[in-house]
Amino acid sequence: MKKIIAVDGPAGAGKSTVSKICATKLGYTYIDTGAMYRAVGLKVLSSGKSVDEDLIIEMTRDIKIELDEAARVFLDGREVTKEIRTPEVSRAASDVAKVGFVRQKLTELQRQMAVRGSVIMDGRDIGTQVLPNADLKIFLTASVSERARRRFEELKQKGVAANLATIEKEITARDKQDSEREIAPLAQAEDAVLLDSTTMTIDEVVAEILRLAKD
């Protein structure tokens, strides 16, 4: 059984959904690193100040981010699980992720969370940067149109007004930004298993990851 599992991939690929289910079925701890960057983005946006690198560093220096077993996210002691799932915070998360100080601080936190093993951690640079020695690495992706459709349906179910064409443009821009940033860009680790979920159901993706985890 693989004790440390890294799941990477672009925005909207379903990393959080399948990782959470797999963690439950395996009895593992699920660590959503994307939520951690979103929390930083939310804090920066909530400052009401003009956003630049100095502000991002200032907001991150003494930040406290916690994830509980129910995958709830706490920012400086306050639950922000729902607040961090807006398009505005998503864009902010991508911006703060480009700042070296932020990545270094959160990478240290993430490694501390994984030190005991029996974890599934998802993000964009887990297999390449955060946990390069993970027992199993998955790179989960899907077509841009399918990822946009999934995000649109997710927002609609939450009662958040959204436009499918706009979401597709935002995801395309996010992919470009994440893959071209100088620090820890989105990339498939050489030893990662590629899973294209465009035509797969959630159950099918989960079943494949569980199979790989048990091999």
The pLDDT of residue 160: 86
pTM: 0.84
The pLDDT of residue 90: 87
The pLDDT of residue 102: 95
Query: CATH assignment of 4-214?
Result: 3.40.50.300
Report the share of the chain in percent with pLDDT over 90.
Answer: 77
CB atoms inside a 10 Å sphere around CB 25: 13
pLDDT in tens, 172-182: 998 998 898 88
pLDDT in tens, 78-106: 999 999 988 899 889 988 988 999 999 99
The pLDDT of residue 73: 95
The pLDDT of residue 181: 83
76, HSE (Cβ side, Cα atoms, 13 Å): 11
The pLDDT of residue 49: 92
Q: Domain boundaries in the chain?
A: 4-214
Distance of CA 83 to the CA centre of its chain: 15
**Overall size of the chain counted in residues:** 215
Residues whose CB falls within 8 Å of the CB of residue 110, separated by 6 or more in sequence, listed in order: 31, 33, 36, 121, 123, 126, 130, 131
pLDDT in tens, 145-170: 999 999 999 889 989 889 999 999 99
- Please give the order of strands across the beta sheet that includes 78-79: 65-67, 73-75, 78-79
The pLDDT of residue 39: 97
Q: How much is the average pLDDT of 47-62? A: 93
Task: For residues 18 and 57, give the distance between their C-alpha atoms in angstroms, rounded to a whole number.
Answer: 32
The pLDDT of residue 79: 97
Task: For residues 80 and 99, give the distance between their C-alpha atoms in angstroms, rounded to a whole number.
Answer: 22
